[in-house]
Structure 1
Amino acid sequence: MSGWTAAEMPSLEGETVVVTGANSGLGFEGTEAFARRGASVVMACRSLERGREAAAEIRQSVGDADLDVRECDLADLENIAAFADGLEEAYDGVDILCNNAGVMAIPRQETADGFEMQLGVNHLGHFALTGYLLPALRASEGESRIVTQSSGLHEQGEMDFDDLQSERGYDKWDAYGQSKLANLLFAYELERRLDERGISDLLSVACHPGYADTELQFRGPRESGSSLRMAGMQVANAVLAQSAEQGAWPMLYAATADTAIGGEYVGPGGLMDMRGSPEFQQSSAASRDEADAERLWDVSEELTGVPYDFEAL
């Protein structure tokens, strides 16, 4: 995949792609790239207003973009279920699901269902959404893919199953690292469970964007009211970050490239894995802990109330 860019994406005519967090950052860039290749893109956004504004902006550069903006609040299980129901009513199948949306290093908050916000949005919301959409993914013709966005900061994450919701103590970066580690444990375990059942036309691939200049870095400082941290992020993004467009390349590769492999981890291959063209990479040993992956899976099904019925696929 040396030197791969979004320019090498194949035609996606006739395919349906779902992107969470599609109105900004990596999700926006991914949505535009998918639309440019002819896909019908469902923009799953927490804010319909911001989603529609983003869709209008994309149509300025991709005049025939087929975009469907729908509300999907990953911090609300009832809302996720309603989104999935609406999608299945409107579409015959889903070819690509990009579990992209996320929050990073924010003050402690809880989702509508009482989950710590970073774990709730970054992992549990996507776990529920993927479970609901499995039948639609299987209903698509040919191969379909689930792409889960993690982060290099998963390497600092630890699964604290005794205090998963950070109720006894909260550190915003520890919680973020745990949520990104959970993304990888989920992505790899999903691929194993698909393989065990001989489901070879549905792939689960993980990725990370490196250091990309997006709005994600600024939500934490903004919600903390820290002008110093805001200024620091602005400087770091200007000096170190690659563009959001380039940051989306690993996700786009994982979603569309013929050489992408289920159960693999894709990220930028340049300076300190922070920028450059995508390549297969090694994630942390903790992310490959199958016992933790099984435990997280069981806990996630219990917390979300979304069982994965593979036998019905």
Structure 2
Amino acid sequence: MPRFQEGNTAAELAAHHSPSITGKIILTTGVTPGSIGARYIEALAAHAPKLLILAGRSLPKLNKQVEVLAQAHPDVETRLLQVDLSSIDSVTKAAAQVYSWTDVPIIDIVVNCAGIMAVPYALSVDGIEMQLAANHIGHFLLTNSIMPKLLAAEGTPRVINVSSNGHRLSAMRWGDISFDGGRTYDPWVAYGQSKTANMLFSLALAKKLGNRGLLSFSVHPGLITTTGLATHLAWVAEGEEEDAMTTLLKKDQELGNEVGFGDAWSKLVVPVSSEAGAATQMYASFDPELKAHNGAYLEKCRPSDPMKDIFRPWGRDEYEAEMLWALSEKLTGRKFDY
């Protein structure tokens, strides 16, 4: 088996795993054109999946992505799922819609790729800090609400949560998850908390449902500055405005993170393409050797190494994973006892 690594593309991994993709039903959030979610499903479409379910808030953007797929692969079957992941009501309705599809009795893979990053302070309609709501809570509710269809799939169904090495910026803030009405808000710390949540969610799913065949992984796709995730950020300074990279560097230095000092920063902030960024989630979706690493956090098409990579203890703590599960149930008003 070839050893994939940073720089390989989703298309290259999909070609290798083509027999595993054929006939699969895959639901992916965050598939707006140009995103890593879009690159992921574009790579899948070349290998005859049975159905690609595209989930997102904007139907025009979803339809545009369907057009892209249809032009390259006219035989691929797609279905749209409109959902606002920051709204518990919207997610509940979307999950009900999935259940109404009697011709889709199973789902083989769910890839939770949608996300927002370092946005100004806001609360969701449910009163939850927006990054935690959109990046974790919505995915927690959607995934668990359709879990029976995943568990009905043959083989090893998988749930992939796109996280980030930005989890280094914050553990879960158990006493102040919504930043005291904005008074303690820091956009990068809030982003870090939400990415830690993605990791803990995968860990919890693996512990709770691994004995029923479910595999779950979180992934770091790399620094990608060309997708919608980052379009609101000033990556290049304009006039006297401090650019996003300078702000992030200062935050790492303030927190004492090693990447904020010496030449580590220059190595950290090397951008990768969206095609390469989608590679690790393709690896997480199909690599058979990952069965031995259920719940793992992955990067560069391999399990992350706590001694060499940015992989904080708070993102791999089983006790914190249980605490997050309980908190997520409380915030959504739903119990998922597995």
| Partners of 1:21 and 1:227 in 2: CA distance | 33
* Structure 1 stretches of 4+ moved >4 Å: 225-233
Q: Output aligned runs, 1:15-26, within 5 Å.
A: 15-24=24-33, 25-26=35-36
Cα distance, 1:142 vs. partner? 2.1
1:174 counterpart = 2:182: no
1:272 maps to what in 2?
A: none
Unaligned runs of 5+ in 1: 269-277
1:13 counterpart = 2:36: no
* Alpha-carbon distance change, 226 to 258 in structure 1, aligned in 2, over 3 angstroms: farther
2:86 maps to what in 1?
A: 75
Q: Secondary structure at the match of 1:56?
A: helix
Cα distance, 1:54 vs. partner? 1.3
Cα distance, 1:291 vs. partner? 2.2
Q: Is residue 107–residue 220 contact of structure 1 (8 Å, CA) maintained in 2?
A: no
Cα distance, 1:10 vs. partner? 2.5
| Partners of 2:111 and 2:234 in 1: CA distance | 26
* Alpha-carbon distance change, 65 to 226 in structure 1, aligned in 2, over 3 angstroms: farther
2:303 maps to what in 1?
A: 280
| Partners of 2:76 and 2:314 in 1: CA distance | 40
Cα distance, 1:232 vs. partner? 6.9
1:130 maps to what in 2?
A: 143
* Alpha-carbon distance change, 259 to 73 in structure 1, aligned in 2, over 3 angstroms: same
Residue among 52, 58, 81 paired with 2:63: 52
Cα distance, 1:173 vs. partner? 0.2
Read off the aligned partner of 1:257 and give its amino acid letter.
D
Q: Is residue 171–residue 315 contact of structure 2 (8 Å, CA) maintained in 1?
A: no
Q: Output aligned runs, 1:36-185, within 5 Å.
A: 36-39=46-49, 40-90=51-101, 91-167=104-180, 168-185=183-200
Q: Secondary structure at the match of 1:259?
A: helix
Could you say what the CA RMSD is over the residues aligned between the two structures, in angstroms? 2.3
1:191 counterpart = 2:206: yes
* TM-score, normalisation: structure 1: 0.87
| Deviation digits for residues 202-235 of structure 1 (CA, Å, limit 9, x no counterpart) | 111111101124221123459xx999567979xx
1:264 counterpart = 2:265: no
Cα distance, 1:82 vs. partner? 1.2
* Alpha-carbon distance change, 231 to 172 in structure 1, aligned in 2, over 3 angstroms: closer
1:31 maps to what in 2?
A: 41
2:255 maps to what in 1?
A: none
Q: Secondary structure at the match of 1:176?
A: helix
Point out the more displaced range, 9-18 or 142-151.
9-18
* TM-score, normalisation: structure 2: 0.81
| Deviation digits for residues 50-83 of structure 1 (CA, Å, limit 9, x no counterpart) | 1101110122222222111220110111111111
| Partners of 2:239 and 2:148 in 1: CA distance | 44
| Partners of 1:114 and 1:241 in 2: CA distance | 34
Q: Secondary structure at the match of 1:17?
A: strand
2:215 maps to what in 1?
A: 203
Q: Greater Rg, structure 1 or structure 2?
A: 2
| Deviation digits for residues 29-69 of structure 1 (CA, Å, limit 9, x no counterpart) | 11112222212110001101111011101222222221112
| Partners of 1:281 and 1:122 in 2: CA distance | 21
| Partners of 2:232 and 2:157 in 1: CA distance | 32
Point out the more displaced range, 11-20 or 103-112.
11-20
